[in-house]
């Protein structure tokens, strides 16, 4: 076996190796890409959910509602001017 | 022998047959290739791309608007808009009926739209429905029905901030208020990207992510407004406008140190989440509506007098007999006040007093003072639609105009301008343009001598403190301010309608807040600024000082000794400053 044919065999195996590797990583890329797509979709959904919850929260803590709950359910009121005392150290 | 016979069989004929066969095959291939590559190229190319390479839009949301504490004032939520490709629906009218039912549309009308616009590629039939409803539509599984993500604007604070924040139209473009003013900042640019899809329609790879087409979400806006104070101010103003059956009203709260607008409320208002068919409430009256302010301008006339160095706060002006003729016009006081010091001119709000003060000075000087305080110019807040007010040039003043200007007539101002001008007294003579944006503090500049500013502060505190039971009074805090009651001009003269106002600041020792109130056309028995506007001032200022934890500077009721050894109640110790 001369040097030339030895080199050829080596190159053929190298080529096969590279090609198999390429296919493998192409597949990996696709899988990872599909995953990013999924995660990105999830992100959009979570964002939408977050916005919805934020609106819900701002409705729950609206000054109107707080005042109503404080006055009617908890029987709270602002102190009258005569009831306010300032503490001096 | 056989072998040789075989060899003799016409070998060249065989070769020719094989060659002819191969040639035929080759011709078939070439012809087919030609028909695909050349004749049908366009068709196959588009068909192929349709199945695999797609440019998809990346929807972006408009930036949110928050108050100074991060509470949301305007939010965008993702909604689904339903559109149709009319051409694809022509043969499935039974499903169209179901679609109409789910979307609460008129089925006949929808069918008519489909037939009459069958050449359109796409049209919306219902915009911004909830994702839940969209799922019901998707369940119908109809060809020719498409979904797009769009955003709906929601305003959690409703009418309280409606005419300041404004609103957007169906295309998400700011139409009024800060939504319009900062539209470019808030608007996002929806991006596009080219992707490869497999036969199931799933994206398998991004290609060509062009920087120019990248999505740029809208930026958030953090306002200087404080939602709690805004709410309190709105409720107080609303109550007062209702109680006095007034046409409209405005209130502005400014932070003296930074020029930040902490609250800005107007009546009437509207619900920004509903339909905007009434025009009355849409205007942010605090900055768009101008009026003749009346007596709240008198302190500026006094500034002119003090700057002339001919007067000190203790100088005396004779206002007897309560009537004073200038250029054929007679100026009246409430009654004959006799001899008044400059302080008392403001305390009694003497029309004759200020007229006599300014008539002795040049017209140009009074104009210059007003001009320096920002009257007749836009305040610099940047609010879209802001009015500059009106200050006529001194060369056009007659003597009667000169006197009228000293008591706040013949010029027009906005409520925001009044608040900004008064903050000069509270800010050692420096004018700082107001701002709606948190932390975006404008440069201030000295416009009057700090000495005169502190003299005016002292004089204005006498206005509130010397008048027994003044409605602007706030327990435990010192207050400086001035009332105004101006007749509203109408065609050919002045009507019997009034503009009641109060502008002031507190605490006097180290001013923190400026509050300006104006109530237009109170219909009740009371119309004086001191009775209509001052109580609103007092309530809003009290809430503001409490929310900002401003220490009291004029304590009338104290508890000393908090060590627990024994608490002494020093009730009514008036001078415990």
The pLDDT tens digits of the residues spanning B21-31 come to 999 999 999 99
B53-58 β-sheet, strand order: B53-58, B191-197, B203-207
- The winner for highest mean pLDDT among B78-92, B220-234, B266-280, B516-530 is B220-234
Based on the domain organization, do B257 and B292 belong to the same domain?
Answer: yes
Residue B500 resides in a domain: yes
Query: Does the beta-carbon distance from B78 to A47 stay under 8 Å?
Result: yes
B31: left (phi over 0), alpha (psi -120 to 50) or beta: alpha
Identify the pLDDT of residue B199. Answer: 61
Give yes or no for residue B268 having a pLDDT over 70: yes
Among residues B76, B269, B295, B341, the one annotated as catalytic is B295
Query: Does the beta-carbon distance from A86 to B231 stay under 8 Å?
Result: no
Based on the domain organization, do B341 and B250 belong to the same domain?
Answer: yes
Based on the domain organization, do B192 and B236 belong to the same domain?
Answer: no
Query: Does the beta-carbon distance from A63 to B202 stay under 8 Å?
Result: no
pLDDT 10s digits, B92-122: 777 888 888 888 888 888 888 888 887 777 8
Please answer whether residues B426 and B299 qualify as being in contact, where contact means their C-beta atoms are separated by less than 8 angstroms.
Answer: no
| Sign (positive or negative) of CA dihedral B86, B51, B189, B134 | positive
Q: How far is A51 from chain B (nearest CA, A)?
A: 6
Residue B2 resides in a domain: no
Query: Does the beta-carbon distance from B203 to A37 stay under 8 Å?
Result: yes
Based on the domain organization, do B256 and B343 belong to the same domain?
Answer: yes
Residue corresponding to tokens 């993500």: B149
Based on the domain organization, do B341 and B439 belong to the same domain?
Answer: yes
Residue B48 resides in a domain: no
Q: Which residues of B touch A59 (CB under 8 A)?
A: 156
Dmax (CA) for chain B in angstroms is: 158
Average pLDDT of chain B, as a whole number: 85
Question: Phi/psi at B187 (nearest 5 deg)?
Answer: -75, 130
Q: Which of A64, A81, A87 sits opposite B559 (nearest CB)?
A: A87
Give yes or no for residue B575 having a pLDDT over 50: no
Q: Which two tokens stand for residue B410?
A: 């013949």
B residues 167..206 contacting A (CB < 8 A): 202-206
Give yes or no for residue B467 having a pLDDT over 90: no
Residue A54 resides in a domain: yes
CA dist., res. B505 & res. B472, Å (int):
10
Residue A82 resides in a domain: no
Provide the domain count of chain A: 1
Based on the domain organization, do B205 and B251 belong to the same domain?
Answer: no
Based on the domain organization, do B159 and B261 belong to the same domain?
Answer: no
Closest by CA position to B449, among listed B556, B323, B304? B304
CA dist., res. B228 & res. A30, Å (int):
52
Domain containing residue B139? 56-222
Residue B361 resides in a domain: yes
pLDDT 10s digits, B340-379: 999 999 998 999 999 999 988 888 999 999 999 999 998 8
Give yes or no for residue B181 having a pLDDT over 60: yes
Based on the domain organization, do B263 and B145 belong to the same domain?
Answer: no
Residues in contact with B205: Cβ distance below 8 Å, sequence separation at least 6, in sequence order: A29, A30, A33, B195, B196
Residue A89 resides in a domain: no
Residue B118 resides in a domain: yes
CA dist., res. B159 & res. B144, Å (int):
40
Residues in A lying within 8 Å of B, measured between beta carbons: 29-30, 33-34, 37, 44, 47-48, 51-52, 54-55, 58-59, 62-64, 81-82, 84-89
Residue A23 resides in a domain: yes
Domain containing residue A23? 3-77
Based on the domain organization, do B248 and B182 belong to the same domain?
Answer: no
B48: left (phi over 0), alpha (psi -120 to 50) or beta: alpha
Q: Which residues of chain A have pLDDT under 50?
A: none
Q: Roughly what angle, to the nearest 10 degrees, separates helices B363-372 and B399-406?
A: 40
Best residue in A32, A58, A80 to probe B by mutation, most B CBs within 10 Å?
A58
Q: Residue B87: which CATH number?
A: 3.90.1310.10
Q: Residue B238: which CATH number?
A: 3.40.710.10
Residue corresponding to tokens 């006095």: B244
Based on the domain organization, do B337 and B247 belong to the same domain?
Answer: yes
Strand duo B203-207 + B191-197: pairing: antiparallel
Based on the domain organization, do B218 and B246 belong to the same domain?
Answer: no
pLDDT 10s digits, B44-67: 877 776 666 777 777 788 899 999
Based on the domain organization, do B154 and B237 belong to the same domain?
Answer: no
Q: Is the peptide bond before B268 cis (omega within 30 degrees of 0)?
A: yes
Provide the domain count of chain B: 2
Please answer whether residues B266 and B280 qualify as being in contact, where contact means their C-beta atoms are separated by less than 8 angstroms.
Answer: no
Q: Which of A30, A84, A85 sits opposite B204 (nearest CB)?
A: A30
Element (H, E) at B13: helix B11-34
Q: Which residues of A touch B475 (CB under 8 A)?
A: 81, 84
């Amino acid at each position: 076996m001369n040097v030339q044919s030895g080199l050829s065999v080596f190159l053929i195996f190298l080529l096969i190796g590279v090609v198999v590797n390429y296919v493998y990583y192409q597949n990996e890329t696709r899988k990872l890409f599909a995953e990013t797509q999924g995660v990105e979709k999830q992100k959009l959904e979570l964002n939408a959910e977050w916005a919805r919850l934020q609106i819900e929260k701002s409705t729950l803590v609206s000054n109107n509602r707080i005042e109503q709950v404080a006055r009617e359910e908890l029987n709270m009121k602002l102190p009258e001017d005569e009831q306010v005392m300032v503490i001096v150290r | 022998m056989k072998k040789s016979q075989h060899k003799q069989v016409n070998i060249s004929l065989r070769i020719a047959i094989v060659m002819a066969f191969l040639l035929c095959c080759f011709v078939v291939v070439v012809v087919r290739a030609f028909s695909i590559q050349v004749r049908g190229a366009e068709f196959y190319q588009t068909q192929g791309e349709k199945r695999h390479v797609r440019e998809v839009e990346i929807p972006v949301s408009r930036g949110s608007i928050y108050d100074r504490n991060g509470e949301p004032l305007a939010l965008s939520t993702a909604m689904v808009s339903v559109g149709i490709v009319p051409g694809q629906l022509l043969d499935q009218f039974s499903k169209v009926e179901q679609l109409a039912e789910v979307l609460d549309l008129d089925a006949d009308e929808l069918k008519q739209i489909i037939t009459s616009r069958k050449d359109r590629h796409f049209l919306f039939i219902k915009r911004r429905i909830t994702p839940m409803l969209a799922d019901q539509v998707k369940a119908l599984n109809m060809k020719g029905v498409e979904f797009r993500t769009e955003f709906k604007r929601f305003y959690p604070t409703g009418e309280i901030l409606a005419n300041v924040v404004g609103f957007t139209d169906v295309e998400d473009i700011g139409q009024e208020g800060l939504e319009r003013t900062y539209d470019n900042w808030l608007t996002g640019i929806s991006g596009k990207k080219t992707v490869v899809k497999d036969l199931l329609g799933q994206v398998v790879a991004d290609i060509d992510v062009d920087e120019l087409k990248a999505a740029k979400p809208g930026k958030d806006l953090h306002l200087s407004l404080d939602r709690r104070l805004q709410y309190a101010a709105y409720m107080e103003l609303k109550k007062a406008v209702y109680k006095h059956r007034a046409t409209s009203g405005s209130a502005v709260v400014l932070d003296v140190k930074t020029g930040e607008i902490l609250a800005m409320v107007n009546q009437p208002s509207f619900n920004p989440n509903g339909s905007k068919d009434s025009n009355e409430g849409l205007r942010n009256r605090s900055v768009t509506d101008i009026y003749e302010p009346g007596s709240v301008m008198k302190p500026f006339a006094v500034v002119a007098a003090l700057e002339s160095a001919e007067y000190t706060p203790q100088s005396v002006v004779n206002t007897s007999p309560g009537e004073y003729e200038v250029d054929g016009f007679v100026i009246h006081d409430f009654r004959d006040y006799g001899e008044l010091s400059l302080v008392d001119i403001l305390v009694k709000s003497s029309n004759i007093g200020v007229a006599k003060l300014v008539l002795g000075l040049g017209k140009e000087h009074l104009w210059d003072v007003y001009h320096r305080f920002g009257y007749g110019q836009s305040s610099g807040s940047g609010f879209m639609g802001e009015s500059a007010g009106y200050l006529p040039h001194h060369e056009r003043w007659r003597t009667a105009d000169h006197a009228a200007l000293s008591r706040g007539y013949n010029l027009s101002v906005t409520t925001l301008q009044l608040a900004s001008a008064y903050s000069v007294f509270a800010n050692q003579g420096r004018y700082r343009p107001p701002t709606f944006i948190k932390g975006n503090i404008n440069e201030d500049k000295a416009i009057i001598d700090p000495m005169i500013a502190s003299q005016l502060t002292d004089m204005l505190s006498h206005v509130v403190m010397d008048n027994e039971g003044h409605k602007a009074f706030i327990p435990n805090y010192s207050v400086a301010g001035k009332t105004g009651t101006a007749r509203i001009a109408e065609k050919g003269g002045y009507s019997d309608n009034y503009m009641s106002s109060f502008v002031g600041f507190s605490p006097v020792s180290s001013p923190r807040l400026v509050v300006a109130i104006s109530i237009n056309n109170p219909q009740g028995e009371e119309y004086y600024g001191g009775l209509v506007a001052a109580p609103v001032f007092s309530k809003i200022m009290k809430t503001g000082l409490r929310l900002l934890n401003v220490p009291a500077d004029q304590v009338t009721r104290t508890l000393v000794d908090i060590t627990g050894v024994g608490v002494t109640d020093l009730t009514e110790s008036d001078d415990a400053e």
